Amino acid sequence: MAKLVEPHGGKGLTCCLLEGAELEAEKKKAGGLKKLSISPRAKGDLIMMGIGGFSPLTGFMTKADWKSVCDNYLLADGTFWPIPVTLDASKEDADSINDGDEVALYDPEGDEIIATMKVTEKYEMTEDDKKYECEKVFMGEGTPTAEEFWKIAKDDHPGVQMVMDQNEFNLAGTVKVLTEAEYPTKYAGIYQRPAESRKTFEDKGWSEVAALQLRNPMHRSHEYLAKIAIEVCDGIFIHSLVGNLKPGDIPAEVRVKCISVLVDKYFIADNVVQGGYPLDMRYAGPREGLLHATFRQNYGCSRMIIGRDHAGVGDFYGMFEAQTIFDKIPTPSEAGKALLCTPLKIDWTFYCHKCDGMASLRTCPHGKEDRVLLSGTMLRKGLSEGVELPDHFGREEVLDILREYYASLTEKVEIKTHGAATGN
């Protein structure tokens, strides 16, 4: 009988989402609690804790967890975890909350309470603390010194900007999640809980499942990566981010439509499952690649496709740094605490005219002039500027959807290119 990889942390799926009478009672109680406004990033993190996507996390990190994750890729209890999951609060709010207090975590954009939280710790995040987190989490081989990093990060790195803009304190504590917000209805049939994807994989008899992370429309390179994974695993989980992106990125509903038409026309349906998850991008490159593998393990995936410049932004990271980081992380010996979802490392892929098909640097002997270099950034830049894309850059059915989307925009956003996108 097929057996999927166990959820991360050794405790099964730790789900903080309430249901039934317990949910109704907590909603009633939440109405009388102090309300704290939360960021879109925290909203996504809460929903992932609610549905078990962030197992074994059941709340926002303590200072000991934060420091250990930054320094060692480990929670304070020794469980592997690659990126801080924290909740910021203003000094005014932090001063009004005591340890043991319960608060309601309120999403101002959706005008609803997402969760309640029992505060067990509050700790100051000075400018130096925020900078420390940024250097540990976001600084890669593309900017090997802190001086080089800060010259450009404060203006050009959305993840760094997100951390530096946070309030002066962090609050830690366990949460009770009250809602999955708009995701189940807005992305019906795509958005899934880990328990649902696991059941789908089990029903198919899969045990080795590869995840393909997508934040861009699926071009020919993505298609090729997915088909390589199908050859070596039981199936592919095409898992799209449906949370917030940076300006210029293509909305989730458009990307999902592109994936659907591609899967319908160019894949054997039995070998593919499409899903969506509610996080915002952190743009943390290699560390985010590790996070992607960590929560995909909870969704039932044993392999994580890691290609060129995974989760990168600009030229902050080495082209394959998100692959090599998997060889450097700690491997806790205690059962369940190590990362079990392993990388499926694939070289730069492209269409080669002389090979007359998709290829990679490991398989194609021809020169750069024979290759159509594929990247989501170049795809978005070309479409936003109305230029003709090279032959074999994408499937025409997908490009038609994207051209229609760009034609509908009343304001254009400048798309910046970088070395990993252009092949330089």
Domain 20-125+166-179 in this protein, CATH class: alpha beta
Nearest-10 crossing angle of helices 252-266, 396-408:
160
Pairing of strands 209-214, 303-306: parallel
Count of CB atoms situated within 10 Å of the CB of 112: 13
Residue 113 in 3-state DSSP?
Answer: strand
Task: Split the chain (424 residues) into runs of 10 and give each run's mean pLDDT.
Answer: 90 98 98 97 98 98 98 98 98 96 97 98 98 98 95 94 97 98 93 97 97 86 94 97 76 88 94 95 95 98 94 92 97 95 94 94 94 73 76 86 86 55 45
Closest C-alpha to 137, from 285, 261, 280, 245:
285
DSSP 158-227: HHHHHHHTS-SEEEEEEEEE---TTHHHHTTTTB--HHHHHHHHHHHT-SSEEEEEESS---HHHHHHHH
Burial 356-392 (b: 16+ CB within 10 A, else e): eebbbeeebeeeeeebbbbbbbbbbbbbbeeeebeeb
Start-end ranges of CATH 3.40.50.620 in the chain?
186-424
Question: Which burial class, exposed, middle or buried, applies to 111 when counting CB atoms under 10 A from its CB (0-12, 13-18, 19+)?
Answer: exposed
CA pair distance 351, 354, nearest whole angstrom:
9
Backbone angles phi, psi at 173, to 5 degrees: 155, 165
Count of CB atoms situated within 10 Å of the CB of 79: 24
Backbone angles phi, psi at 37, to 5 degrees: -75, 140
For residue 3, the model assigns a pLDDT of: 94
Closest C-alpha to 81, from 317, 293, 321:
293
Active site residues: 215-216
For residue 422, the model assigns a pLDDT of: 45
CA pair distance 121, 94, nearest whole angstrom:
10
Say which CATH topology domain 186-424 has: Rossmann fold (3.40.50)
Angle at 258 between CA 253 and CA 262, to 5 degrees: 145
| Omega cis (within 30) before 56 | yes
For residue 48, the model assigns a pLDDT of: 98
CA pair distance 390, 374, nearest whole angstrom:
10
CA pair distance 260, 71, nearest whole angstrom:
40
Backbone angles phi, psi at 224, to 5 degrees: -65, -45
Please answer whether residues 341 and 294 qualify as being in contact, where contact means their C-beta atoms are separated by less than 8 angstroms: yes
For residue 10, the model assigns a pLDDT of: 96
Amino acid at residue number 133: E
Start-end ranges of CATH 3.10.400.10 in the chain?
20-125+166-179
